Chain A
Amino acid sequence: MTAAVVRRLLQAVMVMLAMTVIVFIAINVIGDPVDILISPDADQIERARVVQALGLDLPLWQQYLRFLWAALHGDLGESYVYNEPAIRVILERLPATLELAVAAILIAIVVGVPLGLYAGLRPDGILTRVIMTVSILGFSLPTFWVGLVLIMFFGVQLGWLPSGGRGQTAELFGVQWAFLTKDGLAHLILPAVNLALFDACLILRLTRAGVAEVLPLDFVKFARAKGLKETRVIGVHVSKNIMIPVVTIIGLEFGSIVAFSVVTESVFSWPGMGKLIIDSINVLDRPIITAYLMATVAFFVIINLVVDLTYTALDPRVRLQGEGP
């Protein structure tokens, strides 16, 4: 087990390294930040001074090595805009995105799994047809549009919920969280629901497909033949067998939500990482973009590791390499 985890971590480091190369080159292609950073009236000498201060006069490979060396020391550069270490700017925004993502995934699971189970157990029910139709809408409608509709309906027309921002926050473990205050929670609901919609539908459909697949299998019939209560047959025998694809999707989608909640955060002006990255791309704030992408990759790697470990807990036939039988 330990050997397997260590091997996975080494793989993760290689992935991160490959990522730095891609990110670094890509970012140099998309534009020259100097044009944006320096006021148009600045003279040539001033311009050269800034270019040199940022190290942009060096050949690309030297810039890369300098970046890599600094990155190894935990320094991903200083934001051109905020004049703060990029990693700190990102981490400041991380809790907002994280709580939004966690809330969204929780909503998706709480809605998706039970409805999927219901639809799988009653494939011909009228309610099942309603659920399945709505779920198609759920992942066909564009997120930004649904977000706008939510704002219009609940924010503007009914006036029940605030339509943007993060509201009041409270401190926990030295970090500001919105979900701890009533106001913050109210602000959290709409963006979380908006973000959850797609994944709830995805989880729902996966669960339903899993139930339909597992239900006719002999072991379910045998479980019934043993005289088990239906709650145990479904709750243990069926559920545990359908959880593997569901866990995979939850893991992947959690990463996606954290990394790319750009749209929802923009629509609801949620001050998270997604909004930050869009702003930073607009002003070509290279260190922020780089740090953001690195953080995202690291996040995905961690999630994948957790998902793999969860598999072994769910399915004894899946064993990580390096572990004895």
Chain B
Amino acid sequence: MKEFGYRRVKHVQEALALTANDTGARYLGGGTNLVDLMKDEIEAPSQLVDVRFLPLSGVREAPDGGLAIGATTSNSDAAAHPEVRRRYPALSQAVLAGASGQLRNMATVGGNLLQRTRCAYFADPSEPCNKRLPGSGCPALPGEHHNHAIFDWSRHCVATHPSDMAVALAAFDAVVHYETLDGPAEIPLSEFYLPVGDTPHRETALPPGALITAVSLPKSAACPRSRYRKVRERASYAFATVSVAAALELHDGLVGRVGIALGGVASRPWRARVAEAALHGEPFTGAGLRDAAEAELAAAKPLRDNGYKVTLARNLIVAVLTELAER
């Protein structure tokens, strides 16, 4: 690990000033991803600005009637919050499907969003990786990629974003709130993660030095009839092969608001807008649902060894939405 300075801050402005004066500084939340990557010097910050003691913890009612989850709220506290469980149950399920009990206690909501999109080649300094060393190449494309992306990858990177939480946030139209020295700003989660393109090392649309302060869930997306289901290679404590977060409103058999997002299929949570558009406003039928799922997966570009994810994602959409409709 490279040497680094450590500062604990109590005010947001103090945190912003420290990172403005030191472009090598990084914010420290739970450290579950950052400290791990620092051990291999994949991350080598000059300074850690510990933001866990900022007054940004807790879940509160938002002005629009939705919920705002503070950035330093632990994943555990977010998942256990009664109003998250009641109004956005798929979010609670998604957080609980991630990592282990220990890591969820450490990890923060803001840090979860900022964990790196990554694969085993990224984590192995002996291998080239365009994300770690731009221009060095992507060994996953010709190599081991059975658990990599099927949507929107580029020849520069085929890794997937590992967050479960972010998949549910995508289905619920979440908004990320942040601060810079210019003041507060916000960005929809759907625009938070950048497409891979030819800059896989640039992962989010956050301006340099920006500090995430909260994630908000709009009232209009609240949906007790929602579910997160994760398929993985062992029963617990593994990244998703494919996961789906879905929220479904039905009115007299017609589909109202429907939010569907997939995990494990792209460098960011994959909002299934094609399937949503096919379902919205129509009578809910098994045939219509299968057609909607097929339409979403029509844009998939599986790699040599992960075509199974196309079938899996389609079947998961059908299974979860069917279950929700039958409740």
> Are A and B part of the same complex?
no
- Which B positions have Cβ atoms within 8 angstroms of A? none
- Which A positions have Cβ atoms within 8 angstroms of B? none
